[in-house]
Structure 1
Amino acid sequence: MTTKADGVAELKALAGRDLGSSDWLEITQERIDTFADATGDHQWIHVNPEEAAAGPFGATIAHGYLTLSLVIPLFTELLEIGGVSMSVNYGLGKVRFPSPVPVGSRIRLTGKVGSVVEVSGGGVQMELDFAVERDGSDKPACVGQALYRHYP
């Protein structure tokens, strides 16, 4: 279920709150190839299914930064923010990729709001502690902290 917050005051009240999990998203070869084209990273482990089948993971794997980039659309399933004029990504902290995401895997985002502090301009900076989980894996695919700024 999506948590909803209307304005910076309600965002402040979310500090420490577990936001649950997003829906599962399947990672397709088409998505991996599109990301490779966008970034110029065409390493065989990502884009060559035949060669990757004989590699260490038995299939192509998603780029770590592809997995990280999916935090943004998956986060919109966890928290719906209204009553602000602008929200921006402010940065990341402690990002790690503990396990690969083979093609055909399903991933989802879990998140917990850390601190929510006031910043200049009447806004707030919200810290999100997140994990991208892979269905059937004991290890997350990506963990870290995302910082977002929201302004009235």
Structure 2
Amino acid sequence: MTTRANGLDEIKALAGRDLGGTGWLEITQERVNTFADATDDHQWIHVDPDRAKDGPFGAAIAHGYLTLSLIIPLFNELLDIQGVRMSINYGLDKVRFPAPVRVGGRIRLAGRVASVDEVAGNGVQMLLDFTVEIEGADKPACVARAIYRHYA
């Protein structure tokens, strides 16, 4: 279920709130190949499923940065912010990739608003703790703290 916030006061009220999780998203070979083309990272472990079967993970895996980039569209399922003039992605802290995502696997995003603090320019800064979970896996694919700023 999507959490909605309208304006800075409602955003501030989200501090400490668990946003829950998204639906599952399958990681296809087509998506991995498209990412490889966009980033010019064609390492065999990502784009050669036949060779990757004999590799360390037993299958082709998604790029870590592909997994990280999918936080953006998945995050839209968790939080809808309205009533602000501008929202910006301010950066990331503490990004880790504890486990690979095998092609054909499914991921989802879980999020929690760690804090919301006022910033200059009539705005707030949100720290969000994200975990990209892999269906059926003990370890997550990615954990990261994202920083967003919203201005009235």
Q: Deviations over 1:100-151 (max 9, x none)?
A: 0000000000000011011111011000001000000010000010000111
CA shift at 1:62, angstroms? 0.3
Instruction: Please list every run of 5 or more consecutive structure 2 residues that lacks an aligned counterpart in the other structure.
Output: none
Aligned residue identity for 1:5: A
Alignment of 1:131-150 (within 5 A): 131-150=131-150
Alignment of 1:1-152 (within 5 A): 1-152=1-152
* CA RMSD of superposed structures (Å): 0.5
Q: TM-score, normalised by structure 2?
A: 0.99
Aligned residue identity for 1:79: L
Q: Deviations over 1:48-86 (max 9, x none)?
A: 011101101111000000000000100010001000121
* Separation of aligned partners in 2, 1:98 and 1:92: 16
* Separation of aligned partners in 2, 1:120 and 1:34: 39
* Separation of aligned partners in 2, 1:74 and 1:84: 21
* Separation of aligned partners in 2, 1:119 and 1:70: 27
Aligned residue identity for 2:2: T
Q: Percent identity, please.
A: 72
Aligned residue identity for 1:57: F
* Separation of aligned partners in 2, 1:36 and 1:26: 17
What number of residue pairs does the alignment pair up? 152
Moved runs in structure 1, 4+ residues, more than 4 A? none
Q: TM-score, normalised by structure 1?
A: 0.99
* Separation of aligned partners in 1, 2:65 and 2:32: 11
Instruction: Please list every run of 5 or more consecutive structure 1 residues that lacks an aligned counterpart in the other structure.
Output: none
